[in-house]
Amino acid sequence: MKILITGSAGFIGYNFCKFLLSNTNHQVYSIDNINNYYSQKLKKARLKDLKKYKNFKFYKFDLCNKKKLEKVFKLKFNCVYHFAAQAGVRYSLINPRSYINSNIIGFFNLIELIKKNRVHKFFYASSSSVYGDSKKFPLKETHVISPKNIYGLTKKNNEEMVELFFKGFSTKCIGLRFFTVFGEWGRPDMLIYKYLNSIYNKSNKFYLNNYGNHTRDFTYIEDVKEILFLLLNKKIENNTVVNICSNNPVKITRVLNIINKKFKYKPKIYKRSFQKADVKKTHGSNSKIKYLYNKKKFIPLEIALNNTCNWYKKNWKIFT
Ligand SMILES: NC(=O)c1ccc[n+]([C@@H]2O[C@H](COP(=O)([O-])OP(=O)(O)OC[C@H]3O[C@@H](n4cnc5c(N)ncnc54)[C@H](O)[C@@H]3O)[C@@H](O)[C@H]2O)c1
Q: Is 151 a catalytic residue?
A: yes
Q: Per the residue annotation, which of 38, 151, 195, 293 is the catalytic one?
A: 151
**Shortest-distance Cα residue to atom 37 of ligand 1:** 34
Domain ranges of the chain: 2-183+218-247+283-299
What is the amino acid identity at position 181? V
pTM: 0.98
In 3D space, the residue among 254, 244, 249 whose CA is nearest the CA of residue 282 turns out to be: 249
In 3D space, the residue among 106, 289, 259 whose CA is nearest the CA of residue 182 turns out to be: 259
The mean pLDDT values, 10 residues at a time, for the chain of 320 residues are: 98 98 98 98 98 98 98 98 96 96 98 98 98 96 96 98 96 98 98 96 90 95 97 89 97 97 94 89 96 91 98 92
- Which is the closest atom of ligand 1 to the Cα of 9? 39
Q: Is 11 in the pocket of ligand 1 (CB under 6 A)?
A: yes
CB–CB of 29/77 below 8 Å?
Answer: yes
- Half-sphere exposure (CA, 13 Å, Cβ side) for 77? 28
CATH superfamily label, 2-183+218-247+283-299: NAD(P)-binding Rossmann-like Domain (3.40.50.720)
- The Cα–Cα gap between 27 and 24 comes to 9
Q: Is 87 in the pocket of ligand 1 (CB under 6 A)?
A: yes
Cα–Cα distance list, 142 to 23, 28, 131, 180, 288 (Å): 34, 33, 10, 20, 11
pLDDT of 238: 84
**Shortest-distance Cα residue to atom 7 of ligand 1:** 127
**How much distance in Å is there from the Cα of 260 to the middle of ligand 1?**
28
**How much distance in Å is there from the Cα of 37 to the middle of ligand 1?**
10
Q: Is 217 in the pocket of ligand 1 (CB under 6 A)?
A: no
pLDDT of 251: 97
Q: Is 103 in the pocket of ligand 1 (CB under 6 A)?
A: no
Determine if the peptide bond prior to 96 is cis (ω within 30°).
Answer: no
